[in-house]
Amino acid sequence: MQVHWVTFIAAVAAATSPAAAKTISVAAGAPDANEKLQEALILAEPGDVVELGAGTWTLTDGLSLDVDNVTLRGAGTKDGDGTILDFSGQQGAGEGLLVTSDDVYLTNFAVLNTKGDGIKSKGADRIVYHQLRVEWTAGPKETNGAYGIYPVESRDVLIDSVYVRGASDAGIYVGQSKNIVVRDSIAMENVAGIEIENCYDADVHDNIATKNTGGILVFDLPSLPQQGGHNVRVFDNVVSDNSTPNFAPKGNIVASVPTGTGVLVMANSRVEIFGNLLADNGTANVMIVGYRYPYEDEKYQPLPKDIAVWDNQHGNAGFAPAFPGGAEIAAAMGGNIPPVLWDGAGSAIVNDEVGVLSLNLPDVGTPQSEAKPSPADLKGDASEPLAGVTLPASMEARVQ
């Protein structure tokens, strides 16, 4: 009897306590590597690490992860000795990797040439994207996927030290989420470098956004489950030479972003832009505009409200304004328009020591062709600064 009891208790313990976390290693290069890797992602248990071997993985179908608290770790992001997930021959799925579970940590691998988005996470709370490369290696092309790194409908998102290039919409796109940090990352040669859309509470700082069409975008769009974007801080970034001609497929909202845009705020309330180095953006270093399209959503708020701009360093800007009528305005003003451009809708405080051009279109229903551009003085006292975003300690611990 004694023995039986011990066995019984051991069996109960095994059934009720989570199995010890383990590392599942998967090697690149096997003929069925795609299936083996997907199988590992399905069989992983909370706490496990799935280790992706170094080398180039030739993948034909999108991968997905739906287990909480799993780490997906590669050997690095560089060609040669890193873990390269190559989707050039992808036949199915809307993205390279889809994460739909919480507390996932993605680190040290590269995702290349996906047909749709690079890495998407949906409803994936406390996700950490760290030291990743997502790239369309032929550079800007309309046929590239839309988003490089794409968390949506999530609470607590950290994107840290990633590199994204070539996205035909946004390199780093955070949509309809809350409590977000995007930092220490590089976005280049995308249509939008970094885009925060329909989000609440985001800090975007210490990034480099260069050679995109537009560097950093803070948008709010109608008819979506989460709207009314607010409390976004864009600070200490380098946003320079965003000069790539817009290559977004027509119809998408970013297809309307003028080439040469530095930081662009559309709709949203409480956005702070400070301490950035903004230079060589041919249309404007900072643009603040309303949503100027027809919409049928009564709850939608199309105006930028309570936008504050201060302590930014401005280099050359406004030398090639790429919006309709921009060239004529620049010519009339002696070659350049001022580095800060406001369409005249909503409210903004600009305390940078540079000029502001207003298009004097306070009503978003007025067509842009009726713009009456004139210099504007938007100096004033901004609201009490936002407190900034704090992420759960468990997330920060991942990247220490």
Write out the H or E segment, with its range, that includes residue 5. helix 2-16
- Of 277, 150, 175, 260, give the one whose Cα is nearest residue 212: 260
- Of 391, 327, 398, 338, give the one whose Cα is nearest residue 157: 391
160 binds other proteins (CB under 8 A): no
Minimum Å gap between C-beta 102 and other proteins is 9
- DSSP state, 37? H
Q: How many residues bind other proteins (CB under 8 A)?
A: 56
Residues 64-103 that bind other proteins (CB under 8 A): 64-66, 90-94, 98, 100
Give the binding range for other proteins (CB under 8 A) out of 54-62, 276-284, 317-325, 385-393. Answer: 54-62
Minimum Å gap between C-beta 151 and other proteins is 10
Kindly tell me which residue out of 60, 137, 374, 394 binds other proteins, with binding defined by CB under 8 A: 60
147 binds other proteins (CB under 8 A): yes
25 binds other proteins (CB under 8 A): no
Give the binding range for other proteins (CB under 8 A) out of 131-139, 171-179, 235-243, 349-357. Answer: 171-179
Report the C-alpha gap between 309 and 194 in whole angstroms: 18
Q: Which is nearer to other proteins, 122 or 155 (CB)?
A: 122
117 binds other proteins (CB under 8 A): yes
Give the DSSP per-residue string, 129-167.
EEEEEEE-TT-S-TTS-SEEEEEES-EEEEEES-EEE--
Residues 127-146 that bind other proteins (CB under 8 A): 142-146
Kindly tell me which residue out of 168, 190, 231, 301 binds other proteins, with binding defined by CB under 8 A: 168
Take residue 80 and report the two structure tokens written for it. Answer: 């040669």
Phi, psi dihedral angles at 254 (to 5 degrees) = -70, -15
Q: Which is nearer to other proteins, 65 or 317 (CB)?
A: 65
Report the C-alpha gap between 228 and 230 in whole angstroms: 6
Helix (H, G, I), strand (E, B) or coil at 12: helix
Q: Which is nearer to other proteins, 105 or 247 (CB)?
A: 247
Neighbours of 325 (CB within 10 A): 13
Helix (H, G, I), strand (E, B) or coil at 41: helix
Write out the H or E segment, with its range, that includes residue 328. helix 326-332
169 binds other proteins (CB under 8 A): yes
Largest CA distance in the chain: 98
Report the C-alpha gap between 142 and 30 in whole angstroms: 32
Q: Which is nearer to other proteins, 250 or 372 (CB)?
A: 250
61 binds other proteins (CB under 8 A): yes
Footprint of other proteins (CB under 8 A) = 34-39, 41-43, 60-62, 64-66, 90-94, 98, 100, 114-117, 122-123, 142-147, 150, 152-153, 168-169, 173, 175-176, 221-225, 249-253, 293, 295-297
